[in-house]
Amino acid sequence: MKKFLLVLVGVLFTFTVSSQEEKKNLYSGGMLILQPGMTITSNEHQDIRHMSTAVGGILRLYFCNYLTAGLYGGSQKTNYPTAGSKNSYFNLGYGGVFFGYSQQIHKFRYTASLYAGMGAISNLHVSSQAENNLTDADLYKVSTFLYSPIFSVDYALTRRIYATCQVVCLTGKYNASRFYNPVFQLGLLFSR
């Protein structure tokens, strides 16, 4: 997987360097700062449908006038209540590659792409606790394949700084069920 990513970045860099004469953006990357979302899944004990928060980042390379590819990743955290505690959580860390279509019209850049990558899930389900002591809890750790569409609109604040608004729906398999994590993301991208 690492070799594939290195080859992909090398090929994309070659396309990008060859198109430098056009005076268009070569790449943009930055932090996705505000990421409210919703985790929808279930474990052996209950359905989980609760708000999530996150932090993450994206690096987009632009080539062949309308194509984009790059790296995308982050970490989602969902705290949810159970019958015996309010300290249960569902964490998802993920990273991977995406490929798609991007077009800049005046100060706006519109992008639609598909993401695929790996993720690690950590789910602490607390059935009961006495003050700070867990009396009945289960910890699940799972690796999973993730995929998602990524739709974004970027607005040029300056020639090099863009505000971005993204919508994704991370989808994968968790134990015997699927999980979905639709997320609305706001952030800043630095462009060249």
Domain boundaries of the chain, sorted by first residue? 2-191
Banded pLDDT at 22 (limits 50, 70, 90): very low
What count of Cα atoms within 13 Å lies in the side-chain half-sphere of residue 65? 0
More confident residue, 12 or 151: 151
Residue type, 115: Y
State how far the alpha carbon of 32 is from the alpha carbons of 21, 86, 163, 167, 185, in Å: 30, 28, 10, 11, 6
- Asked if 154 contacts 162 with a C-beta cutoff of 8 angstroms, the reply is yes
pLDDT the model gives residue 6 = 52
Predicted confidence (pLDDT) at residue 25 exceeds the cutoff of 90: no
Query: Under CATH, which architecture does the 2-191 domain have?
Result: Beta Barrel (2.40)
132-144 per-position pLDDT tens digit: 878 888 899 999 9
pLDDT the model gives residue 86 = 87
Element (H, E) at 2: helix 2-18
Banded pLDDT at 21 (limits 50, 70, 90): very low
Q: What is the DSSP code string of 163-184?
A: EEEEEEEEEEEETTEEEEEEEE
38-93 per-position pLDDT tens digit: 999 988 888 999 999 999 999 999 999 899 999 999 999 999 999 888 889 999 99
Q: Which residue has the tokens 């309010």?
A: 86
State how far the alpha carbon of 8 is from the alpha carbons of 27, 70, 73, in Å: 15, 9, 17
pLDDT the model gives residue 177 = 87
